[in-house]
Amino acid sequence: MTNYADMHDNDDTILDGENTDPSAYPVTKGEALALADQIAKDYQLDGYQLVECSNDIPATWLLLWHKQLDNGVLNPYDMVTVTVDARDGSVMLMNRNKETLDEADVVVTETGAIRRSQPLRQELGGLAVSSTELTVFRPNFYWESTEVAYQEADFIRLAWRVTLEDGSAIYIDARTGETLGEIRRYPCVRVLCVLYPMWPGAGLR
């Protein structure tokens, strides 16, 4: 197995762990990306796509991969995360969360998804559609009952995300055509109705 720290020429620089400037750390973003390539080979992450290389946490690089489906759609619930020490290039933490789709067939067309979103769009004031794309979504059903503030499903679906002109989004099941949930935007307040997958040591992103 590769010794990732050896891929960086460690000059024994001692840095303040609170320094958030990535240029202050020996391991550059380019080196972090090279580490990502090597990690993907070592752990046989075939079919996974690197979607993030960030340094939001001081003295670290966070590498994040999502599984790519046969149709090119990325599944954020099937992911691998690696935390790299920005001081010497060593791997500090690696986690994997694997949640797969039961069905990945696309039966409902893009036009059909827009049409099926019409009732909810009318409830939101007749907002126009700004874009559509296939995605993987964990359904939420809070909007189906005034007695339920929020309820999240224990499964994921391939869905059409119908994004509206105000940034709100409606999710339509790509196989059955049913409405799976929505994300609404309100003036000054964004109400999120979907939770990103969690893994040990990580927060919402």
pLDDT tens, 2-54? Answer: 655 555 544 444 344 455 565 567 899 999 999 999 999 999 999 999 999 99
Report the distance separating Cα 153 and Cα 193, nearest Å. 11
pLDDT of residue 58: 86
Helix/strand/coil (H, E, C) string of 87-155?
CCCCEEEEEEEECCCCCCCCCCCHHHHHHHCHHHHHHCCCCCEEEEEEEEECCECHHHCCCCCCCECCC
Look up the pTM and report it.
0.74
**What is the pLDDT at residue 2?**
63
Q: How far apart (Å, rounded) are the C-alpha atoms in residues 195 and 47?
A: 24
Q: For position 143, what pLDDT does the model report?
A: 54
Name the 3-class secondary structure at 23.
helix
